Amino acid sequence: MTDNERDDPRSAAEGTSSDLTAEELADYQLGGETGGEIGTESDTGRDPFFVSRKSAAVFKHSLLKSYFPKFAGKAGSTEADKRLVYIDTHAGPGEYEDGTPGSPLLIAKNVTGMLGASGAAHRDIACMFVEARRSHHEHLQTVLKQHMPAESHWRARRGKASDHLDEALTFAGNAPLFMFIDPYGLGPTFDEVVRVLKRPRVGRGSKTEILLNFISMAFSRAGGFLNSDAPTSQQTTTLDRLDLVLGGAWWRDVYLGAPTGGQAVSKLVREYARRICRAVGQRAQVGVPQRCEATLIPVWNTLEQDVPVYWLVHFTFHPHGKWCIAEAAAKANTTWRQTNHQLTLTKRLAREADTGQEDLFAGALVPQITEEEHARAEEDLQKRWIGTISENIKGLVGTRPRLDVCRDMDAIFGATLGLADGKHVRKAWDLLAQQGLVDRRETGKPIEKQSIRRV
């Protein structure tokens, strides 16, 4: 069942030659290719964001594919009607030109599976998708009609996400809410993000989460306008908008004080997340205060990049939400490294074919060698992560007698957060237990529900 017959009446009047308003087009151009997708610049009739996926988009979608079912499973388990809501504020056309699913079709698969499940696994996931571009919105509706179950409840709106925020929150009602904000440029205002996280809800727990894409190039380019001696009116407008997005002008001194735009963005995203959580504060749910917490996950396009192409910022009120997003990020990172490995191999074989240097085994030897190299590199990474986590735990138990694995996960993982997962914590814990530094863990009990105690 869809609600699309009641579409946004303003959409026809807002179109430009690129079917975006001037403000939307400026925001769109800030992001460049860094939303994770790439196209052919010379092909002006096509949208470069959705021709084919870069590996950064592989990470983003892999994380969403892994995490959202966990959110739905946990958040919906105590709801009488098993209903929860997914909102995608910048949905795009739903799929890439090569047919690869975008975020809407990944969610459609979850809706199909959970709606058709019986017993405790059943979930009724209502979805709302918002897309600004007319061409994208039209294609989005087409693919959703093809892939969404007939009995599912969904709607696709055209226009700015902010124009549909009231409708989105009304649509969610008291149901658990997961909002995916994947903008082309700067994204929503600070107040809009806080409003979603502080939405009133009757029931057990806040059950409100946001996964926000903080695009590095968009913020770096926009912040760079501060260095202009005579900024244009559009640049001034963009700087004023950045004040609204980041919750004030505090970011200007941070940006100007950083050596590079990339380093500035890394500082901005951390302070932004801290300020959002502080503005939201605690929420008392069934007598138990819940505090908004953020997890920051850097994402690169290639292994050679020094600066993340974007940051995924996850806001949740439940400590297990932080644990699950970190686990999903680790899984997505594995997929991302494999994708980069395959891209590197493809480029290497193409380069050798162009120079007439194909190997003597019809291309079989190079893949075999590179697979072995990749396996050795992966094994080395695992060992280094376990060593890092071991040192982190050793340092922590030196200052306090007990660590809650879930609540203290940021300090336990340290630099490996989003790379390592629970199995690496288990191995590090076991090593320290063998050395007599900490008590042994309980076998058969999820590690995130345990505490590490100093001997």
Measured CA angle at 121 (ends 120, 124), to 5 deg: 105
> Would you say the C-alpha torsion 66, 69, 74, 75 has a positive or negative sign?
positive
Distance CA(249)–CA(362), nearest Å, equals: 60
Distance CA(178)–CA(70), nearest Å, equals: 11
What is residue 31's predicted lDDT score, i.e. its pLDDT? Answer: 63
Q: How many residues does the chain have?
A: 455
What is residue 372's predicted lDDT score, i.e. its pLDDT? Answer: 80
Distance CA(270)–CA(62), nearest Å, equals: 23
Tell me the three state secondary structure of residue 216.
helix
Residue 432's contacts (CB-CB under 8 Å, 6 or more residues apart) are: 390, 393, 394, 438
What is residue 19's predicted lDDT score, i.e. its pLDDT? Answer: 65
Total Cβ atoms within 10 A of residue 305 = 13
Helix (H) or strand (E) holding 237: helix 233-246
**The residue to which tokens 């690496």 are assigned:** 424
What is residue 353's predicted lDDT score, i.e. its pLDDT? Answer: 55
Total Cβ atoms within 10 A of residue 419 = 20
Distance CA(179)–CA(86), nearest Å, equals: 6
Distance CA(321)–CA(177), nearest Å, equals: 13
Record the tokens describing residue 91, joined without a space.
Answer: 């949905």
**Nearest in space to 339 (alpha carbons), one of 365, 301, 394:** 301
Residue 290's contacts (CB-CB under 8 Å, 6 or more residues apart) are: 205, 206, 282, 283, 284, 317, 318
Which ranges of 355-442 does DSSP label H, i.e. alpha helix? Answer: 365-397, 409-413, 422-434
Q: What is the pLDDT along the chain (455 residues), one digit of tens a residue?
A: 556 544 433 333 333 345 666 666 666 667 654 333 333 333 334 444 443 456 678 888 999 999 999 999 999 988 889 999 999 999 999 988 878 899 999 999 999 999 989 888 999 999 999 999 999 999 999 999 999 999 999 999 999 999 999 999 999 999 999 999 999 888 999 999 999 999 988 877 789 999 999 998 889 989 999 998 898 999 999 999 999 999 999 999 999 999 988 899 999 999 999 999 999 987 765 556 688 999 999 988 776 667 788 899 999 998 899 999 999 999 999 888 887 777 665 665 565 555 544 444 444 444 555 778 778 888 988 999 999 999 999 999 999 999 999 999 999 999 999 999 999 999 999 999 999 999 999 999 999 999 999 99
Distance CA(50)–CA(38), nearest Å, equals: 7
Phi, psi (deg, nearest 5) at residue 193: -65, -45
What is residue 106's predicted lDDT score, i.e. its pLDDT? Answer: 94
**Nearest in space to 270 (alpha carbons), one of 323, 205, 206, 219:** 219
What is residue 45's predicted lDDT score, i.e. its pLDDT? Answer: 41
CA 221 from chain center: how many Å? 21
Distance CA(390)–CA(400), nearest Å, equals: 15
**The residue to which tokens 């030109």 are assigned:** 97
Distance CA(443)–CA(420), nearest Å, equals: 20
Distance CA(360)–CA(266), nearest Å, equals: 47
Helix (H) or strand (E) holding 220: helix 216-224
What is residue 288's predicted lDDT score, i.e. its pLDDT? Answer: 61
CA 229 from chain center: how many Å? 36
What is residue 357's predicted lDDT score, i.e. its pLDDT? Answer: 45
What is residue 64's predicted lDDT score, i.e. its pLDDT? Answer: 93
**Nearest in space to 385 (alpha carbons), one of 413, 353, 426, 349:** 413
Dump the DSSP string for 326-348.
HHHHHHHHHHHHHHHHHHHHHHH
For the chain, which domains are there?
A: 11-317 (3.40.50.150), 334-453 (1.10.10)
